[in-house]
Amino acid sequence: MVERLPDHSVQIEKLDDDIAIEFSPIFNVAFAFIDRHVEEGRGGRFAIFTRSEKITFAELSKNVARAGNSLRGLGLPSGERVLMVVRDSPAFLYAFWGAIKAGYIAIPVSTMLKAADYAYLIDDSMCSAVIYSDGLDQVVESSKEPLASKATMLPTSWLLNEMPHQTAVLKPAATAPLDDCFWLYSSGSTGNPKGVVHRHRDMVVTSECYGKGVAGLRQDDIVFCASKLFFSYGFGGGMTFPLWAGATTVLSEERPSADMAFATIAAFKPTYFFCVPTLYGQMLAAMENMRFDLSTIRGASSAGEALPAHIFQKWKEATGISIIDGIGSTEVLHIFVSNRHEDNRPGTSGRPVPGYQVKIVDADGSTLPIGKVGNLWVRGLSNARCYWNNVEKTAGTMRGEWIDTGDMYYVDPDGYFVNVGRADDMFKVGAMWCSPIEIEAHLLTHPQVREVAIVGRTDADNLVKPAAYIVLKGRAEPHDQMGAELTQFCKAGLAGFKYPRWITFVDELPKTATGKIQRFRLRQALVEKDKLGC
């Protein structure tokens, strides 16, 4: 007779190069991430550092229970949705884990949007309550005015003031591993964001497979993730991974920047650092003029967009730290292909993370041989159940047990996965595929180029060619000679058909709130420009 696991528990086994995870039939993930540490004797260890607070796991457990009881006191039925517009702070963790423990669906969204965006999210999610950070009241509250929504609007000050009046004991809702648990909205890099529905088991899978299995986080780590918690990359690096390992996470409400990153590292001396390629590049630029002490950092990860090999090399030379780059998605929740600390090939996304199967397929879903470019598909236990209220998009992306990521890849002869761009960013020049990432990576090695985006543009003969949008470094001034220099630089370092036919110098590139370049906005601008005959 096989004994059933105790309620809300999970069992992890390492099987050769893979990971087996068994869940109890009654499983509420808030217990596994929060209360488990108190039961296992880590209650006195610090879970959260901020500029003004140090919070232990025991304090976190009590505050999560109080937050869940505060939400239950509103009379919301079990399973209702709670939208969160909350900055990276202890209140984020109280609201998120409290909602889940009480049996609600938590939906963190960006804190950097406009009223119209929040109106869309409130309407789309059909949420019963909205929790928002103080200071965001004007933009969030005004978003509700044109809606028929009856969502209760709750500032975090209400939650923090209500919590002391609630008991610090909350029995976890009797959910199951495959029950809906939380959503993350896709970043909207190609249009309106979509609600990605994740289950109770999903955070355990990513935290065990990547957080511990690849990043190697442990309970004595201090973890700093420069990306925000509403972004799936920051959600893992800044919250679920350190919590699962019993480590300490450093939270900052400031927007990500090189200054913010260096100041946070100096103040808290983290041992593990999560960052996106754009910010690594900005930090490297700052290092050209000042020295910064990063000696406490033993490991660093990158995702969100492909990490150019030259940024890896420059970072390694400047800091002695190797960055492990990988690819993840909101639909898979986090990174599923990655380099390793002990097996790191710059310019690639590495190999599949244990626990995931990955393949490159053609338009018919047939697996392609080594070296052939195709669509990247992934299968794993953290794959999202569906897109909320979007049957057509769900059917187009979630192919049975597989997810079509929309990314174009090939596998090199040594088994490393190489990113060549999003499917909707790729274009053909003279019948040959052109990867924006490859051209951008080359231009970024030029000493005067800080940021660049490549898109396809139609010429006078109605043929598509590369067009470059470039942000120059420091005080460099754009001029005709600079454009010619960069054109020649590309001709010398790339295949002949790949050099940009147009170069436009800009002060900044359009990006999502998570820092991803929105190439579709550049393409839209080109369409309008060409209509006007510019």
CB 335 within 8 Å of CB 323: no
Q: How far apart are CA 121 and CA 143, in angstroms?
A: 10
Main-chain phi, psi angles of 115, to 5 degrees: -55, -40
Along the chain (534 residues), what's the average pLDDT of each consecutive run of 10 residues?
A: 82 85 97 98 98 98 98 96 98 98 97 89 95 93 71 96 98 98 78 90 98 98 97 97 98 95 98 93 91 97 90 95 97 98 96 97 94 95 96 93 94 95 80 83 92 89 87 76 93 89 92 76 73 52
Nearest to 436 by CA among 497, 361, 498, 362: 498
0.85 surpassed by pTM:
yes
The residues, any chain, with a CB within 8 Å of residue 460's CB and separated by 6 or more, are none
Nearest to 285 by CA among 450, 156, 153, 96: 450
Helix (H) or strand (E) holding 263: helix 258-268
Q: How far apart are CA 263 and CA 257, in angstroms?
A: 10
CB 459 within 8 Å of CB 497: no
Q: Residue type for 379, please?
A: R
Q: How far apart are CA 259 and CA 486, in angstroms?
A: 29
Main-chain phi, psi angles of 116, to 5 degrees: -65, -35
Q: What is the DSSP secondary-structure string of 112-164?
A: S--HHHHHHHHHHHT-SEEEE-TT-HHHHHHHTTT----PEEEEHHHHHHHGG
Task: Give the rounded distance of the alpha carbon of 115 from its chain centre.
Answer: 23
State the pLDDT at residue 337. Answer: 98
Q: 510 by DSSP, 3-state: which?
A: coil
For 281-330, how does the pLDDT look when each residue is reduced to its tens digit (9 = 90+)? 889 989 998 999 999 999 999 998 889 898 999 999 999 999 999 999 99
State the pLDDT at residue 305. Answer: 84
For 80-130, how does the pLDDT look when each residue is reduced to its tens digit (9 = 90+)? 999 999 999 999 999 999 999 999 999 999 998 888 889 999 999 999 999
The residues, any chain, with a CB within 8 Å of residue 329's CB and separated by 6 or more, are 232, 336, 378, 403, 405, 407
Q: How far apart are CA 145 and CA 78, in angstroms?
A: 26
CB 30 within 8 Å of CB 204: no
Nearest to 60 by CA among 38, 87, 82: 38
Q: Which letter does DSSP use for residue 497 in this model?
A: G
Nearest to 278 by CA among 231, 344, 332: 231
Main-chain phi, psi angles of 271, to 5 degrees: -100, -20
Q: Based on the number of CB atoms within 10 Å of its own CB, is 75 exposed (0-12), middle (13-18) or buried (19 or more)?
A: exposed
State the pLDDT at residue 145. Answer: 66
Nearest to 95 by CA among 60, 126, 135, 121: 60
Domains and CATH numbers, the chain: 10-198 (3.40.50.980), 212-422 (3.40.50.12780), 435-531 (3.30.300.30)
